[in-house]
C-alpha cells in the first residue's frame, strides 16, 4: 500500500501540473488530501512490523512525527524559491520527485506477516480491548479540545481587541508544541505506561484550563494553546501505541481509519462550538476545563491508567 500510495501521489502531482491554472486542479487537490490521510493510516498500521516489541512503539511513532515535521519544514524552503523563480508547474514537479523517492524507498519495508485473525466488524475492533475503547473516546475529546481552543482563543483575542502578536504567539507556539510533544514522548514512555500517558494528556490541559479561568489574561490563552496541542501529541503517541499493541495486524489499518475519521469530526465539532455560540474568554475556557475533567474521569474509570506495569528502563 505504501508503494502504491507513492505512485498514486506521483500521478496526482502530474495531474496538478496540467491543471494548475484551471478548476480541474481541485479534484486532484482533493485526491492528494485523501491519499495523504490514507498514507497516515497505513503508516500507523505498519509501525509494529518494524519495531522489536511493544515498548518501542511510542519511540517509533515519536521519531516518525519528528521526521515528518522536520522534512516538511526543510522541503518547503526550496519549494518557495522554485515557486518564485519557475512557477507552480515546476514546484509541483519538485513535489513529484519526492513521491517517486518515497515509492522506491517503500520497497525496502518488511513484508506484512500473515495473520490468522478472522475479520471483525468495526464495533468489535473498537470494543475488544477496553483500553482501545476508552482510549479513542479520550483522543476524540483531545481533538475536540484542539479545535475548540484554536477558535475560542482567536475569537476571544479578536473581540477584546488584543494585539495581533498575541494571536500569532498562540498559533505559532501551538503549532510548535506537537513537535516538542513528539520529542518528549519517548522519555515519558521509559518512565510510565501508555495508559498513564493518555490520562496525563487529559489532566494537563484540564488543570491549565482551570487555572486560566482564575488567572485570566492573554498569556494564559497562549499557554493554554500550547498545552492543549502538546498534550494532544502525547495522547496521540499513547493511543497509537495502544492500538498497535492490542489490535491484530489484519484489522489494524481499518481500525486506525475508523478512529481517524472520528478524530477529524471531533476537531470540527470543537471548532464549531465557539463559532456558533459566542462565549467570553473566561466562560469558554471554563467550558473546556469541564469537558476535559469529565473525559479524564471517564477514562480513569474505564481504562488501566493506574496499573502497575513497570516503567521501561533506559538502555
Per-residue pLDDT reduced to its tens digit, 252-274: 777 777 888 888 889 999 999 99
Q: Inform me whether the pLDDT recorded for 27 exceeds 70.
A: yes
Q: How confident is the model over 120-139, as a mean pLDDT?
A: 67
pLDDT for the residue numbered 80: 84
Q: Say what the pLDDT of residue 308 is.
A: 45
239 or 306, higher pLDDT: 239
Whole-number percent of the chain with pLDDT over 90: 26
Q: Are 192 and 306 in contact (CB under 8 A)?
A: no
Using the predicted structure, report yes or no on whether residue 181 has a pLDDT greater than 70: yes
Residue 38 pLDDT > 70, yes or no? Answer: yes
pLDDT at position 113? 57
Q: b/e per residue, 278-315, with b = 16+ CB within 10 A?
A: ebebeebbbbbbebbbebbeebbeebbbeeeeeebeee
pLDDT at 171 over 80: yes
CA dist 230 and 177 (Å) reads 5
Q: Quick one: which of 298, 283, 20 has its CA closest to 148?
A: 283
Q: For the beta carbon of residue 81, count every other beta carbon within 10 angstroms.
A: 12
Q: CA-CA distance, 158 to 31, in Å (whole number)?
A: 35
pLDDT score of 160 = 85
Domain locations along the chain: 2-106, 122-302
C-alpha cell at 219: 498569556
Average pLDDT over residues 214-220: 86
Mean pLDDT computed over 188-202:
88
pLDDT greater at residue 126 or residue 57:
57
Q: Assess whether pLDDT exceeds 50 at residue 211.
A: yes
Higher pLDDT, 55 or 125: 55
For the segment 108-134, the average pLDDT, to the nearest whole number, is 59
β strands within the chain, DSSP E: none
Between CA 54 and CA 86 the distance in angstroms is 47
- Over range 277-288, report the average pLDDT: 89
Instruction: Say how many residues make up the chain.
Output: 315
pLDDT at 117 (0 to 100): 43
Q: Given pLDDT bands bounded at 50, 70 and 90, which one contains residue 116? A: very low
Q: Per-residue pLDDT for 126 more than 70?
A: no
pLDDT band for position 290 (cuts 50, 70, 90): very high
pLDDT-based confidence at residue 85 (cuts at 50, 70, 90): confident
Q: Which whole number is the average pLDDT over 304-310?
A: 49
- Bigger pLDDT: 313 vs 47: 47
CATH number attached to the domain at 122-302:
1.20.1250.20
Higher pLDDT: 15 or 37? It is: 15
Q: What is the pLDDT at residue 54?
A: 66
Stretch 117-138: mean pLDDT, rounded? 63
Span of 107-116, 132-141, 160-169, 289-298 with lowest mean pLDDT: 107-116
Amino acid at each position: 500500500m505504501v508503494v502504491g500510495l507513492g505512485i498514486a501521489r506521483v500521478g496526482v502531482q502530474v495531474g496538478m501540473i496540467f491543471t494548475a491554472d484551471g478548476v480541474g486542479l481541485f479534484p486532484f487537490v482533493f485526491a492528494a488530501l485523501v491519499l495523504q490521510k490514507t498514507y497516515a493510516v497505513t503508516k500507523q498500521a505498519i509501525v509494529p512490523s518494524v519495531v522489536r516489541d511493544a515498548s518501542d512503539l511510542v519511540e517509533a511513532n515519536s521519531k516518525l512525527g519528528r521526521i515528518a515535521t522536520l522534512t516538511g519544514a526543510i522541503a518547503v524552503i526550496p519549494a518557495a524559491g522554485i515557486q518564485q523563480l519557475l512557477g507552480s508547474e515546476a514546484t509541483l514537479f519538485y513535489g513529484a520527485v519526492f513521491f517517486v523517492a518515497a515509492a522506491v524507498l517503500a520497497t525496502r519495508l518488511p513484508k506484512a506477516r500473515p495473520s490468522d485473525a478472522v475479520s471483525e466488524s468495526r464495533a468489535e475492533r473498537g470494543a475488544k480491548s477496553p483500553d482501545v475503547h476508552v482510549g479513542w473516546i479520550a483522543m476524540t475529546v483531545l481533538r475536540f479540545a484542539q479545535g475548540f481552543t484554536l477558535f475560542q482563543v482567536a475569537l476571544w483575542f479578536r473581540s477584546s481587541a488584543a494585539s495581533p502578536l498575541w494571536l500569532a504567539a498562540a498559533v505559532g507556539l501551538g503549532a510548535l508544541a506537537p513537535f516538542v510533544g513528539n520529542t518528549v514522548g519517548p522519555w515519558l514512555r521509559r518512565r510510565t505506561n501508555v495508559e498513564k500517558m493518555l490520562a496525563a494528556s487529559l489532566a494537563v490541559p484540564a488543570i491549565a484550563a482551570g487555572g486560566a479561568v482564575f488567572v485570566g489574561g492573554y498569556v494564559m490563552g497562549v499557554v493554554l494553546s500550547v498545552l492543549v496541542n502538546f498534550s494532544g501529541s502525547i495522547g496521540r503517541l499513547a493511543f497509537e501505541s495502544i492500538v498497535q499493541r492490542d489490535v491484530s495486524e489484519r484489522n489494524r489499518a481499518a481500525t486506525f481509519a475508523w478512529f481517524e475519521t472520528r478524530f477529524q469530526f471531533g476537531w470540527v465539532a470543537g471548532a464549531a462550538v465557539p463559532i456558533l455560540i459566542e462565549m467570553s474568554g473566561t466562560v469558554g475556557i471554563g467550558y473546556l476545563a469541564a469537558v476535559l475533567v469529565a473525559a479524564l474521569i471517564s477514562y480513569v474509570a474505564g481504562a488501566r491508567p493506574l496499573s502497575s506495569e513497570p516503567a521501561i528502563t533506559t538502555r
